[in-house]
């Protein structure tokens, strides 16, 4: 039990790191990685929702009837998204405004529903918790990596602190929509080059 929980945790960090290995939940990845700050906050919010919904779904797995399980999962997820939304509104209002509609859109992030369906509805609470935490941290790391690249090249700053000298001309292509697609594609390519293990 303990060993398998550790395995579930670590696989989210590398072997199945979302969104690179599991190509799910791309929309927030593209949209919020304009800057490191929004990337990190989005990652934390997603991790919170993922862990909570995994635990609750796992606890309720014997109660929920098979036929309406997707609807039940969505209600559980939507509840935690609302909690996260209200918390962020209270404690990090400026980031909340920057994230805009992508905060409520965590509801339709396929990673969360995917984990509820594939794992939490079948396994125990401990394993589901470990899986949610691992996947969430993996997702946050991916967002952080992509956001760092885009912000440093596209804006010449890191966490809004300038990293290059005055003479640096920002390559704004990277922080606009086309740059998001291209940089994510190239990162996928690099991950493929590095291999599965």
- List residues near other proteins by CB under 8 A: 23-27, 30-31, 70-71, 74-75, 78-79, 81-82, 85-86, 100-101, 104-105, 107-110, 113, 176-182, 184-186, 188-190, 192-193
Q: How far is the CB of 139 from other proteins (least distance, A)?
A: 15
**Total Cβ atoms within 10 A of residue 29:** 25
Taking the complex as a whole, the smallest distance from the CB of residue 95 to other proteins amounts, in Å, to 17
DSSP state of 157: E
Residue 122 in tokens:
């079948």
Asked if residues 147 and 22 have their Cβ atoms less than 8 Å apart, the reply is no
User: Residue 161 forms beta bridges with which residues?
Assistant: 158
**Between 23 and 163, CB nearer to other proteins:** 23
Nearer to other proteins, 22 or 44 (CB): 22
Minimum CB distance to other proteins smaller for 39 or for 130: 39
Task: Return the C-alpha torsion angle 67, 70, 74, 80, nearest 10.
Answer: 90
């Amino acid at each position: 039990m303990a060993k398998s929980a550790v395995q579930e945790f670590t696989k989210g960090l590398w072997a199945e790191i979302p969104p690179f290995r599991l190509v799910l939940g791309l929309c927030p990845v593209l949209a919020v990685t304009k800057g490191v700050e929004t990337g990190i906050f989005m990652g934390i919010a997603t991790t919170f929702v993922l862990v909570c919904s995994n635990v609750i779904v796992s606890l309720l797995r014997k109660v929920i009837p098979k036929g309406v399980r997707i609807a039940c999962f969505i209600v559980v997820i939507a509840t935690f998204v609302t909690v996260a939304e209200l918390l962020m509104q209270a404690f990090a209002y400026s980031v909340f405004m920057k994230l805009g509609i992508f905060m409520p859109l965590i509801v339709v992030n396929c990673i969360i529903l995917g984990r509820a369906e594939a794992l939490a509805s079948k396994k125990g609470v401990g394993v589901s918790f470990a899986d949610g935490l691992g996947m969430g941290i993996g997702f946050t790391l991916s967002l952080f990596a992509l956001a760092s690249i885009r912000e440093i090249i596209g804006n010449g700053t890191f966490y809004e602190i300038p990293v290059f000298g005055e003479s640096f001309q920002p390559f704004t292509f990277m922080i606009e929509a086309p740059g998001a697609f291209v940089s994510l594609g190239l990162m996928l390519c690099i991950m493929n080059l590095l291999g599965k293990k």
